[in-house]
């Protein structure tokens, strides 16, 4: 387990700042992405205020759709990730791994499968039986507990996953999550009928991520973290 992944934890992060942080990590923090042995892999862990995001199939969502969702009190963003529409909000652990897959296995398919396996293992630790289907993400029976949408450029990954811990699931009632009709969302709290928050889930997720990706996750040093967040505030 020689590969290092630096974890940058930020309790709350505006969605646009999360995008900017990923870009900074992928470029400025790693000025030579074409030298994989020099790339510093980072796992961003955060939580967003209510926001709806859509992937590359933006034509499926009109300005009217956008305005309707904004009126609910949420932000709305069109992004370059895979997947369709989803929701991020309080009580949802969002993980953005910015990895150079040349240090791991240079395959986006492999990468998504390992993200799914990581979440299945997390759920197992909480005595929740989860699985994958032909649709990307992680499911408990026919209820989706984790959404996954990623982007890769020269094997550098951005975007990631969102695991519902104690999320207010009614936000999903206003959309067709991930474009899947007649499917519902769930959370660890809903499945266990007890409150399970991000602080309880994070150490389990970290351990499962390390095992699945055969790496060691360590906290990013405060100087690097402060510099990254300072640059966000300057933009």
87 marked among binding-site residues: yes
86 is in an annotated binding site: yes
Q: Is 48 annotated as a binding residue?
A: no
Which structure tokens are listed for 9? 């934890």
84 labelled binding-site residue: yes
> Is 82 one of the annotated binding-site residues?
yes
- Is 156 marked within a binding site? no
Give φ, ψ of 44 to 5 degrees: -85, 130
Find out whether 162 is annotated in a ligand binding site. yes
Catalytic residue list contains 223:
no
- The annotation status of 163 as a binding-site residue, yes or no, is no
Cα–Cα distance for residue pair 10/224, rounded to 1 Å: 13
- From the list 46, 163, 164, 157, the residue with the least C-alpha distance to 110 is 157
CA dihedral 50, 52, 55, 56 (to 10 degrees): -130
217 vs 117: CA distance, rounded Å? 17
Given the residues 178, 208, 212, 215, the one annotated as active site? 178
- 110-123 burial: b if 16+ Cβ within 10 Å, else e: ebbebbbbbbbbbb
Residue 160 is assigned to a ligand binding site: yes
Q: Is 202 annotated as a binding residue?
A: no
CA atoms within 13 A on the CB side of 214: 7
Please check whether residue 142 is in contact with residue 184, taking contact to mean a CB–CB distance below 8 angstroms.
Answer: yes
Q: Which residues belong to the annotated binding site for substrate?
A: 81-88, 147-149, 160-162
The residues assigned a catalytic role are 178
Q: Which residues belong to the annotated binding site?
A: 81-88, 147-149, 160-162
């Amino acid at each position: 387990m020689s590969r290092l992944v630096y974890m940058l934890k930020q309790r709350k992060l505006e969605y646009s700042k999360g995008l900017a942080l990923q870009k900074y990590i992928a470029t400025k923090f790693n000025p030579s992405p074409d030298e994989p042995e020099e790339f510093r892999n980072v796992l961003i862990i955060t939580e967003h205020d209510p926001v709806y995001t859509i992937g590359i199939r933006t034509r499926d969502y009109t300005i009217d759709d956008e305005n309707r969702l904004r009126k609910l009190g949420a932000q709305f963003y069109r992004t370059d990730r895979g997947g369709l529409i989803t929701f991020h909000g309080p009580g949802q652990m969002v993980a953005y791994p910015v990895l150079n897959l040349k240090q791991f296995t240079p395959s986006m398919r492999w990468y998504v499968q390992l993200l799914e396996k990581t979440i299945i293992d997390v759920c197992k630790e909480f005595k929740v039986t989860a699985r994958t289907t032909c649709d990307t993400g992680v499911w408990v029976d026919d209820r989706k507990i984790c959404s996954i949408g990623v982007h890769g450029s020269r094997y550098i990954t951005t975007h990631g996953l969102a695991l519902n811990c104690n999320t207010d699931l009614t936000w999903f009632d206003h959309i067709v999550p991930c474009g899947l009709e007649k499917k519902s969302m769930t959370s660890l709290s809903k499945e266990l009928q007890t409150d399970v928050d991000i602080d309880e889930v994070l150490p389990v997720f970290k351990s499962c991520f390390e095992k699945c990706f055969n790496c060691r996750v360590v906290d990013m040093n405060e100087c690097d973290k402060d510099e990254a967040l300072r640059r966000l505030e300057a933009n």
